[in-house]
Structure 1
């Protein structure tokens, strides 16, 4: 097979956008398509090599896997080894446990299956996975475990027949991918069958070039490069992948492979010394970038700035050159005695793989080596555990002392009200009283207010909740109703900038409202709720929203303790941000004609203008990024009780 310098240059076009995308540079919102470019290149090169050997009757399965081992494993194992000490020093027990699981699956070329079951590639949590990027290596290895065997089985067939079979498999895989993202986009991203077609397109390119001179077209090769560049800058994580959208970078890569012959403008551009040089080290650069970024994010607790991530991007290229020069090349050239024979390569690969599996199992079975933590750090974990009052029957939930005096109070709301119920139950039990409780996660304490999303207090769950709520209206023994919720979820949307879910105020006969209508729909539902409660003779307390944070508070508290950090300013929330988040809620409350008592949460847990999610001695006030623990809610419960009295 003739060496093509421009193909190595094309690798640079693939790897740089991936690095800059993972570094968090918004300009490269579609940089993840670089992996799709790699898939097509890989399919083209490997298929061309295999078909040449089959044609010359020199093909050997053992030699093929030896080449793969020499090409892939040395640099991969070296980077994995470099990750171990930093994971041990900087990862929390659960993070280290998860990392240990990923080590095992990477060693077995199954990491795509593991990440498929664990996370969304575009979620913030994915950025903290040092080996996340190995999913693409696993898919390639799975493809090349089957593909050579298939070619060997069809070696007596005509080339056109083999090409037709591969084309048919490509179409099946593509159709599956287009169907799968509609079923579960997060899992489809990592799924092997959803991705095989991309490598298969590269294989088809190889069949189109067998026995023919290299095609040459400035127009088509430029169009191909333009398609790749377009996807890098125009795409974002909102686009389903893989899908029909993936055709843009895949077809673009195929056009470059097929038509960027030596002498074309694209071939000259890709053969430039700098571009070609990055292409040569692209595999090692791909291996290094994600661990560098993940550990930087772990160590800094908050998102590092563009300057830091830019410097780490350069560092990835520097480390890539060193790895290419001193790890990749010696293994390919058989420079050392243990690497001279195929047996030696397989034995070393097996031994290293087994060692990583053992290390990964030790970290997983050892629960992330919890014994590394100090007594205070273990206490931080213990005190941040979620606390809830368990009650499955919404129609008959009571807080306080069993058989105690009924207080005449009912508490209604979503999971935030459910969290308050834990401590309210203790207070009422000490007083010898009971109170009604109607809470359900994602269910706003509003009458005639529904979400069409079944997993967001929709369907039967909404009916049960609202039936229990209406039961309170007709209960003459109840004189006071306390409403508590994560209010802004139902107006602005889910915390951390996620899109709002549409809700309908069914009281006005309108249905299928969009999320843009939530503010007015919320106001109408709040007005109806307060009016009906007033008509039923109920006094109403509305507990204001708690400050919400864009990070996992217990994790931050534990990492601050582990790293000895003392500056907590980066984790504070300003009053203006809090007011902005809840502006539509406060606006709706201010417009209500019916009387109610408002419990302002901010002054109960915050300073005048800023709020921290930690105690003064570093313990978390939240069990996640929005649900309070005991220490966080004590003042709020005291204020509610005082207001009731």
Structure 2
């Protein structure tokens, strides 16, 4: 196979946006498309080698897997080995147990399946997974487990029939992805991680291999430039809200194919990509890809607050330096050839098996031993694993997206009702779920019955829908709760919801290194036909909708509206545990009250104007925040976290707010 320096240059175009995206550089909001470029390149190069072997009659599946092992495993195992001491020293038990699972999954090349089962690739918590990026290696290896065998079996029918079969498989995979995109029963996470909906990208590279090896290539400046633009523009134009993979993915995939097919050495793109800088980064791109995610993840794990851009960029530069070292001293010595380390095939496979078994044993210990909690002090563990009596109730009484709204009342949530009825009903999102259990206990002590189910990620008002995720049936949730309240004779509705998070297009930033991980969860108000309006008027429509729906509910029920609960911005228990582990000051943890008030202001200004005999409002900031200029909002009290993460109240925090809510509920009970 003829060496093409522009392909190595194209690897640089793929890896650099991925690194900058994971570093948190907002300009490169679509940098994740670099992985799709890698998929196409991989499909092209591997299929080219397979076609050449088949044409020359020297195809060997064992030799193929040997080449893959030499290419992939030495650098991968080296990076995993380097991760172990930092994981042991810096990871809390739950994350170390997850890390152990990922080690096992990487060795079995099923990490994409593991991460599919765990969380969204774009979730903020995923940024702290050192081996998250290995999902793409798993997709490739699953593809190459079957593709060479399929190619070998079909080759007897001739080159052209095989080519058309490959094209048909690519189309089927793309159609499968589009079907899954429109099927509410299949999550976006499944489509993102799993091989069946990604195979068409690798097959696009395979199609290029057939075209290139089928005759002389034709250089074309215009098509090569178009291909480069199709890769580069999405790097800046796409973001986490872009449906992916989808037809949008055709941009980087087709762009890569155009460069492979038409960026000859005589073209501008070919000459650009063949320059020393692009080729140099391309040569080390695999190692750079391996190194960048662990460096970023451990920087986040070690920092008390979100690491600054300067630190993350320095980690990005370090990943390139480490990439050169591992390319030079790990990748190169193990490459195929007489002078390669472990040149004998048997010794290579034996060494790979031994390392895999050792890694899986270590990972298994981390999982079985529950993340080795004995590494941490008792105080650090107390912050990470606080006793929480709400646990079982919250788990049973929080609905999940994508599942039908169950009929009320739910048996597990009915323990505070009396004769099948509830004087007070608590509705809302996960903030309602965090407050519900201690509030129901207080109601019971006051001689009142209560009922609550929460729907995390759904505003606690009817007439709205989530724009960013159609799996959330928010309007149906509120409609069902209110219908049940009327049927059962409920007099008072308590609404607890993160109203600013649904209004804003960014989550809360406390200005001190803490940025809320959840959201934003964009919503819009539905009209009479169940449709949302034009995007440019969404903000005002949402604010007007808040006011209208709250006042409408106050005509049907006594309404206690819990105003926006202060958000910490950083994971409070994790922050306190890290402070125990790494040091960093012992003053009570708090945030700037003005920062939260400014963020919530568009919503609170609307709430301030609401007036109805059937409405009471609870000032949620008063138990936590000093109202004076320069005041602070407490995140802990007497060493106890008031939050269970960066925004949800802990049991201790909820108990501080419950008396304020009870005061307003009881004011209705005593009213004439």
Fold shared by both chains (TM-score > 0.5): yes
Q: Which of 535, 543, 552 lines up with 1:519 in the alignment?
A: 543
Q: Which of 439, 449, 453 lines up with 1:440 in the alignment?
A: 453
Q: Per-residue deviation at 1:316?
A: 0.5
Over aligned residue pairs, what C-alpha RMSD do you find?
3.2
Secondary structure of the structure 2 residue equivalent to 1:221? helix
Report 1:369-518 matches (<5 A): 369-383=372-386, 385=388, 387=390, 390=393, 394=409, 410=424, 412-414=426-428, 416=431, 419-424=434-439, 426-427=441-442, 433-442=446-455, 455-459=472-476, 461-470=477-486, 481=492, 483-486=494-497, 488=499, 492=503, 496-503=518-525, 511-514=530-533, 516=539, 517-518=541-542
Whether 1:361 and 2:364 are equivalent positions in the alignment is yes
Secondary structure of the structure 2 residue equivalent to 1:623? coil
* 1:560 alignment counterpart: 579
Gaps of 5+ in 2: 398-407, 508-517, 668-672
Cα distance in 2 for residues equivalent to 1:632 and 1:159: 68
Cα deviations across residues 551-583 of structure 1 (Å, max 9, x unaligned)?
Answer: 433233322322222277996143342353253
Cα distance in 1 for residues equivalent to 2:189 and 2:610: 41
Cα deviations across residues 580-606 of structure 1 (Å, max 9, x unaligned)?
Answer: 325324423423143755432212122
Q: Per-residue deviation at 1:386?
A: 6.3
Q: Against the structure 1 CA distance between its residues 513 and 334, is the aligned structure 2 distance closer, same or farther, given a 3 Å change threshold?
A: closer
Cα distance in 2 for residues equivalent to 1:499 and 1:421: 22
Cα distance in 2 for residues equivalent to 1:523 and 1:488: 11
TM-score with structure 2 length normalisation? 0.85
**8 A contact 1:29–1:234 mirrored in 2:** yes
Q: How many residues are treated as equivalent by the alignment? A: 625
* 1:92 alignment counterpart: 92
Worse overlay, 572-581 or 363-372: 572-581
Cα distance in 2 for residues equivalent to 1:154 and 1:633: 65
Q: Against the structure 1 CA distance between its residues 630 and 230, is the aligned structure 2 distance closer, same or farther, given a 3 Å change threshold?
A: closer
Cα deviations across residues 337-392 of structure 1 (Å, max 9, x unaligned)?
Answer: 86020001100011111111111111111111122222222222343636269597
* 1:271 alignment counterpart: 274
Cα distance in 2 for residues equivalent to 1:203 and 1:94: 41
Q: Per-residue deviation at 1:102?
A: 0.9
Worse overlay, 158-167 or 544-553: 544-553
Secondary structure of the structure 2 residue equivalent to 1:155? helix
Cα distance in 2 for residues equivalent to 1:253 and 1:444: 42
* 2:650 alignment counterpart: 629
Cα deviations across residues 385-440 of structure 1 (Å, max 9, x unaligned)?
Answer: 3626959765998888999xx9x9746443545544533455566x6x41121322
Whether 1:599 and 2:640 are equivalent positions in the alignment is no
Cα distance in 2 for residues equivalent to 1:213 and 1:491: 56
**8 A contact 1:545–1:601 mirrored in 2:** yes
Gaps of 5+ in 1: none
Q: Which of 285, 302, 305 lines up with 2:305 in the alignment?
A: 302
Q: Which of 221, 243, 246 lines up with 2:246 in the alignment?
A: 243
Q: Per-residue deviation at 1:233?
A: 2.0
Q: Against the structure 1 CA distance between its residues 395 and 136, is the aligned structure 2 distance closer, same or farther, given a 3 Å change threshold?
A: closer
Secondary structure of the structure 2 residue equivalent to 1:572? strand
Is the radius of gyration larger for structure 1 or structure 2?
A: 1
Q: Against the structure 1 CA distance between its residues 419 and 244, is the aligned structure 2 distance closer, same or farther, given a 3 Å change threshold?
A: closer
Whether 1:580 and 2:599 are equivalent positions in the alignment is yes
Secondary structure of the structure 2 residue equivalent to 1:603? coil
Cα distance in 2 for residues equivalent to 1:156 and 1:282: 36
Cα distance in 2 for residues equivalent to 1:425 and 1:179: 44
**8 A contact 1:106–1:134 mirrored in 2:** yes
**8 A contact 2:443–2:450 mirrored in 1:** no
* 2:137 alignment counterpart: 137
Cα distance in 2 for residues equivalent to 1:445 and 1:214: 60
**8 A contact 1:217–1:264 mirrored in 2:** yes
Q: Per-residue deviation at 1:254?
A: 1.2
Whether 1:292 and 2:292 are equivalent positions in the alignment is no
Worse overlay, 223-232 or 125-134: 223-232
Secondary structure of the structure 2 residue equivalent to 1:467? helix
**8 A contact 2:431–2:498 mirrored in 1:** no
**8 A contact 2:417–2:450 mirrored in 1:** no
Cα distance in 2 for residues equivalent to 1:32 and 1:174: 19
Cα deviations across residues 30-86 of structure 1 (Å, max 9, x unaligned)?
Answer: 211111111111111111111112222222111111111111100000001111111
**8 A contact 1:541–1:596 mirrored in 2:** yes
* 1:546 alignment counterpart: 565
Cα distance in 2 for residues equivalent to 1:511 and 1:330: 63
* 2:160 alignment counterpart: 160
TM-score with structure 1 length normalisation? 0.88
Secondary structure of the structure 2 residue equivalent to 1:548? coil
* 1:172 alignment counterpart: 172
Q: Against the structure 1 CA distance between its residues 625 and 365, is the aligned structure 2 distance closer, same or farther, given a 3 Å change threshold?
A: same
Secondary structure of the structure 1 residue equivalent to 2:133? helix
Secondary structure of the structure 2 residue equivalent to 1:483? strand
**8 A contact 2:501–2:520 mirrored in 1:** no
Q: Against the structure 1 CA distance between its residues 557 and 189, is the aligned structure 2 distance closer, same or farther, given a 3 Å change threshold?
A: same
* 2:2 alignment counterpart: 2
* 1:328 alignment counterpart: 331
* 2:59 alignment counterpart: 59
**8 A contact 1:438–1:469 mirrored in 2:** no
Q: Against the structure 1 CA distance between its residues 335 and 153, is the aligned structure 2 distance closer, same or farther, given a 3 Å change threshold?
A: closer
Cα deviations across residues 150-199 of structure 1 (Å, max 9, x unaligned)?
Answer: 12212322211111111111111111122222333221011101111111
Q: Per-residue deviation at 1:489?
A: 6.0
